[in-house]
Amino acid sequence: AVGTFARALDCSSSIRQPSLHMSAAAASRDITLFHAMDTLHKHNYDLSSAISVLVPLGGPVLCRDEMEEWSASEASLFEEALEKYGKDFNDIRQDFLPWKSLTSIIEYYYMWKTTERYVQQVI
């Protein structure tokens, strides 16, 4: 819920994730949950203390994963590159996405494999 709320308040996030449905899907991925659990642990499982960090007075903390950091055109380039090179991430980076780090491309690939778009391509 915190992740969805944070995305609703974040202008740049609403540009990338235009609907509440997409924002909720992004919030449901592990990055938001892991951040919340890590914060709870760092605050010795004191729920009120952890919540005050996750939802400070200025608004909720927004955690973004690789799927949210990529634009639609970058995602399209990635899919085109993947079709051409398969999982040769070095060539994908060199020829299609030189401004992205190899780590970012690999993280994106594994998140992309969990999307409906990937499932539709496999079928």
Tell me which residue range forms the domain holding 93: 69-122
pTM of the model: 0.56
Report the CATH number at residue 41: 4.10.1240.50
Residues making up the chain, counted from first to last: 123
Q: Which residue has the tokens 């496999």?
A: 122
- Whether 20 and 33 share a structural domain: yes
- Mean pLDDT lowest for which of 49-53, 90-94, 102-106, 115-119? 115-119
- Whether 83 and 105 share a structural domain: yes
Question: How confident is the model over 92-96, as a mean pLDDT?
Answer: 98
- Whether 15 and 38 share a structural domain: yes
Coil/strand/helix, residue 115? coil
Report the CATH number at residue 111: 1.10.10.60
- Whether 103 and 59 share a structural domain: no
Find the angle CA(57)-CA(53)-CA(36) to the nearest 5 degrees: 130
- Whether 42 and 74 share a structural domain: no
Number of domains in the chain: 2
Quick one: residue 24, left, alpha or beta (phi over 0 = left, psi -120 to 50 = alpha)?
alpha
pLDDT digits (tens, 9 = 90+) for 64-77: 777 778 888 999 99
- Whether 36 and 55 share a structural domain: yes
What does the DSSP assignment read for 68-111?
Answer: HHS-HHHHHHHHHHHHHHTT-HHHHHHHT-TTS-HHHHHHHHHH
- Whether 114 and 81 share a structural domain: yes
